[in-house]
C-alpha cells in the first residue's frame, strides 16, 4: 500500500520537529563548548591544549614542506589563519567554562590566566610573523629575489 503525499508530509514534519527538539536538548559540542557548558578540564586540556598542539604540528609540517620546495598539507599562512579562528573559539570557550566551574576557584583563575597569556602570545606571534613577512618581502624587492 502506498502513502499519499499528505501523510508523507505529516511524517516529515513530525521527524523535523523531533530533530529540532533533540538539537535543543543536545546542542552540538562546539556550541556547548562556546557556551561554557563543557567541563573545564575537557575544554582546557582536550580542546585548548590538544587543538594548540595539533595546529603547531600541522604548521611545522607545512613550513617544512614549503622550505623543501614541495606541496604540504596547506600553505603555512592558511593553517595559521585557521588556528587564529580556532583560538578565538577556544579562548572564549575556556573563559566561559571557567565562569561555570564549581570546583576550587584556583583552577578557574588559572584557566583564565592561561587564556590571557594565550591572547598575548598569539598577538605577539602574529605581529612577529607580519613583521618577518614584510622584511622578507622588502629584501626580495631589493635583491630581485
User: Over the stretch 28-39, which tens digit does the pLDDT of each residue have?
Assistant: 989 999 999 999
Q: How far apart are CA 102 and CA 10, in angstroms?
A: 45
Higher pLDDT, 77 or 43: 43
Q: What are phi and psi of 81, to 5 degrees?
A: -65, -40
**Predicted model pTM:** 0.74
Please state the rounded mean pLDDT for residues 116-128: 93
Amino acid at each position: 500500500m502506498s502513502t499519499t503525499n499528505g501523510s508523507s508530509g505529516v511524517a516529515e514534519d513530525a521527524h523535523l520537529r523531533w530533530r529540532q527538539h533533540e538539537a535543543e536538548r543536545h546542542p552540538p559540542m562546539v556550541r556547548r563548548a562556546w557556551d561554557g557548558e563543557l567541563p573545564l578540564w575537557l575544554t582546557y586540556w582536550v580542546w585548548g591544549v590538544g587543538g594548540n598542539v595539533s595546529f603547531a604540528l600541522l604548521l611545522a609540517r607545512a613550513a617544512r614542506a614549503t622550505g623543501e620546495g614541495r606541496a604540504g598539507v596547506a600553505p603555512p599562512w592558511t593553517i595559521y589563519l585557521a588556528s587564529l579562528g580556532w583560538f578565538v573559539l577556544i579562548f572564549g570557550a575556556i573563559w566561559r567554562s571557567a565562569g561555570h566551574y564549581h570546583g576550587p576557584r584556583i583552577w578557574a583563575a588559572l584557566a583564565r590566566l592561561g587564556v590571557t597569556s594565550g591572547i598575548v602570545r598569539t598577538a605577539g606571534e602574529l605581529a612577529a610573523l607580519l613583521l618577518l613577512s614584510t622584511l622578507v618581502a622588502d629584501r626580495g624587492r631589493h635583491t630581485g629575489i
